[in-house]
């Protein structure tokens, strides 16, 4: 658990950075009620296996994907940002940081919280593409069908695939290369709520320049803990608001805290 001293140090670290780049993962959204993948209550240990997200299987049997994922898809579309998403957005809005978020999440919650520069390296659940004719549609037009776990189809008869990256598909190239650039430009890199087990996304923090501090906040140890300057095995939605509150406090005229 972060101590008061840690919070002061983090507030000073954030305050001193102009360009902050963040890599977020599923742990960012668990406090919004969306399960992550690899925790004991994560998707890969409860609902299903990674094979549901395999592109070859989806093409062969889309009904398997929609019956298993449909109701969860619906709850993701309805989910709201939590205190962690809001705190990140405030770093840009209230504290004037140039914040870039590279997210592995497909839930759109950073954008709902008000973050403006978000690169979705595993795509998004908000839109769907027809596998036959290529037409796009908004997933929110299919709330009833998703709730019932039905296969979504375009009027041409083709199956709609959500615009997320399935296993066996390439990552969206523009989002990935913009994320690499933002890592290389950063004065501070944050890794939030990801086990860092899925590549190439997990390699993004390695693109930071020499000397750029790396901060990891993840409830459980990650593959990169030993490379980080500071690691907290804490809840993002509890820790980040405390850091911002301390930044506010440190900004008060005459305050000595956070120095």
Binding site for Zn(2+): which residues? 130, 133, 154, 156
Closest to 13 in 3D by CA, of 217, 218, 224, 222: 217
CA distance 221 to 238: 18
**CB 155, min distance to ligand OAD, A:** 28
Closer residue to ligand OAD (CB): 185 or 225: 225
Closer residue to ligand OAD (CB): 90 or 165: 165
**CB 32, min distance to ligand OAD, A:** 9
Pairing of strands 98-103, 19-24: parallel
Closer residue to ligand OAD (CB): 8 or 32: 32
Residues that bind ligand OAD (CB under 6 A): 25-27, 30-31, 36-39, 42, 53, 104, 122, 165, 193-195, 197-198, 217-220, 235-237
Non-local CB neighbours of 59 within 8 Å, separated by 6+ positions: 131
Closer residue to ligand OAD (CB): 105 or 246: 105
For 11-77, the three-class secondary structure string (H helix, E strand, C coil) is: HHHHHHCCEEEEEECHHHCHHHCCCCCCCCCCHHHCCCCHHHHEHHHHHHCHHHHHHHHHHHHHHHH
Closer residue to ligand OAD (CB): 16 or 200: 200
Given 85, 110, 122, 249, which residue is catalytic?
122
Q: What is the dihedral of CA 122, 123, 124, 130, to 10 degrees?
A: -130
**CB 62, min distance to ligand OAD, A:** 16
**CB 237, min distance to ligand OAD, A:** 6
How many residues are there in the chain?
259
Q: Is 122 a catalytic residue?
A: yes
Q: In this structure, what token pair is assigned to residue 168?
A: 């066996």
**CB 181, min distance to ligand OAD, A:** 20
Binding site: residue ranges? Answer: 130, 133, 154, 156
Name the burial class of residue 138, with classes exposed (0-12), middle (13-18) and buried (19+) by CB atoms within 10 angstroms of its CB.
exposed
Name the burial class of residue 139, with classes exposed (0-12), middle (13-18) and buried (19+) by CB atoms within 10 angstroms of its CB.
buried
Q: Which residues are catalytic?
A: 122
């Amino acid at each position: 658990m972060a101590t008061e001293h840690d919070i002061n140090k983090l507030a000073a670290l954030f305050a001193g950075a102009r360009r902050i780049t963040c890599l977020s993962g599923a742990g960012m959204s668990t406090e919004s009620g969306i399960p992550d993948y690899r925790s004991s209550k994560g998707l890969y240990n409860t609902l299903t296996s990674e094979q549901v997200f395999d592109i070859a299987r989806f093409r062969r049997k889309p009904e398997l994907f929609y019956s298993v994922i449909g109701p969860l898809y619906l709850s993701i579309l309805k989910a709201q940002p939590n205190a962690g998403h809001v705190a990140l957005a405030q770093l840009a809005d209230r504290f004037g940081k140039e914040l870039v978020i590279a997210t592995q999440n497909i839930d759109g919650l950073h954008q709902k919280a008000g973050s403006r520069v978000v690169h979705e390296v595993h795509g998004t659940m908000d839109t769907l593409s027809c596998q036959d004719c290529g037409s796009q549609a908004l997933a929110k037009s299919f709330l009833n069908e998703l709730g019932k776990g039905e296969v979504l189809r375009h009027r041409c008869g083709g199956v709609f695939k959500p615009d997320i990256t399935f296993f066996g598909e390439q990552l969206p190239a523009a989002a990935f290369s913009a994320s690499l650039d933002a890592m290389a430009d950063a004065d501070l890199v944050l890794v939030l709520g990801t086990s860092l087990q899925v590549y190439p996304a997990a390699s993004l923090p390695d693109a930071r320049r020499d000397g750029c501090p790396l901060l990891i906040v993840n409830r459980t140890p990650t593959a990169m803990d030993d490379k980080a300057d500071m690691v907290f095995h804490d809840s993002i939605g509890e820790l980040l608001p405390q850091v911002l509150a301390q930044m506010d406090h440190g900004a008060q005229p005459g305050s000595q805290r956070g120095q």
